[in-house]
Amino acid sequence: MAAAPLPPAPLPPAPLPPWLKRPLGRASDISTVQRIVKERQIHTICEEGRCPNRGECYGQGTATFLLMGPVCTRSCGFCQVDKGHAPMALDPEEPAKVAEAVALLGLRYVVLTSVTRDDLPDQGAGWFSQTMAAIRARSPQTRIEVLTPDFWGGEPDPQRAAVIQQDRIATVVAAQPACYNHNIETVARLQGRVRRGAKYDRSLQVLATVKALDPTIPTKSGLMLGHGETEAEILATLADLRSVGCDRLTLGQYLRPSLDHLPVSQYWTPEAFDDLGNQARSLGFSHVRSGPLVRSSYHAAEEG
């Protein structure tokens, strides 16, 4: 009997389109930030997420610090951040270390983000507030943007969970960030596949809550395109964001960090990003960054 034919070998990943290739930036800018961060055993999403813009941002005096350790309690299919094992205990010196790094680097604009910490009683809301206070004590002129998780977890009753979520958001809002960012990441249909543990409506509620608590704080959200969304779905998502008062928007191309992550379904062209950006502006977003290499904090300092 003839042997069964072997299955076809998997196709190699498609090469990156030319518009997704860019220089890393000045090595001196990158190495200075890396050295200061490593010496203090703190983290940046620029490094943990392998951001393609980190050299440019470092050179412009902007960086995004990753609070509460490098291990996330969720398992999103697109994200480079470490996951799948127990998160680290909080370093009580982290707020002071971040503040010291900001001062040493002379940063004019700082973005604070974090892994999701469903294991913590307040999901880390108080940690954002503490770190903001520490930065302002040393660098009072530095503006601080926050990019937070949804602060949802640990409560089975949805009504009580919603109240607790609002309290956590209120803790961060009370610290008066220059901008409050929470990324919706993808369209409603793809949330379960892309954002494991997150919900579309829950993310919209984060942004709505910020505006209800303090309408003067600009809100921001972003999508990573390339998961199989359609233009109609993107525009519907943008309309939903505007319906909760979201002011600012980032649109960027999803790039697969490894073979263990979700594959790229489509590479959107620069022209398509330009068109989507123009449509977003027509919907009323006050600041729009739309391009293949745009990320949540890209040119954030120019917005506020």
Cβ-based neighbour number of residue 132 at 10 Å: 23
Residues β-bridged to residue 87? none
Mean pLDDT of the chain: 85
Percent of the chain predicted with pLDDT > 70: 77
Q: Which residue has the higher pLDDT, 209 or 192?
A: 209
- pLDDT tens by residue, 213-262: 999 999 999 999 999 999 999 999 999 999 999 999 999 999 877 667 78
Residue 177 pLDDT grade (very low, low, confident, very high; cuts 50, 70, 90): very high
Give tens-digit pLDDT for 248-300.
Answer: 999 999 987 766 778 899 999 999 999 999 999 999 999 999 999 998 876 66
CB-CB contact of 249 with 276 (8 Å): no
For residues 66-79, average pLDDT: 70
Handedness of CA 52, 34, 89, 99 (dihedral sign): negative
Q: Which of 8-17, 61-70, 251-260, 272-281 has the highest mean pLDDT?
A: 272-281
Residue-wise pLDDT for 90-105, tens only, equals: 999 999 999 999 998 8
pLDDT digits (tens, 9 = 90+) for 104-121: 888 889 999 988 788 898
What are the DSSP calls for 207-267, one per residue?
HHHHHHH-TTS-EEEEEEE-SS--HHHHHHHHHHHHHTT--EEEEEE----STTSPPP---
How confident is the model over 26-48, as a mean pLDDT?
A: 68
CB atoms inside a 10 Å sphere around CB 156: 6
Check whether 302 has a pLDDT greater than 90: no
In whole angstroms, how large is the CA radius of gyration of the chain? 20
Whether pLDDT at 185 is above 60: yes
Q: Give residue 155's pLDDT.
A: 76
> 8 by DSSP, 3-state: which?
coil
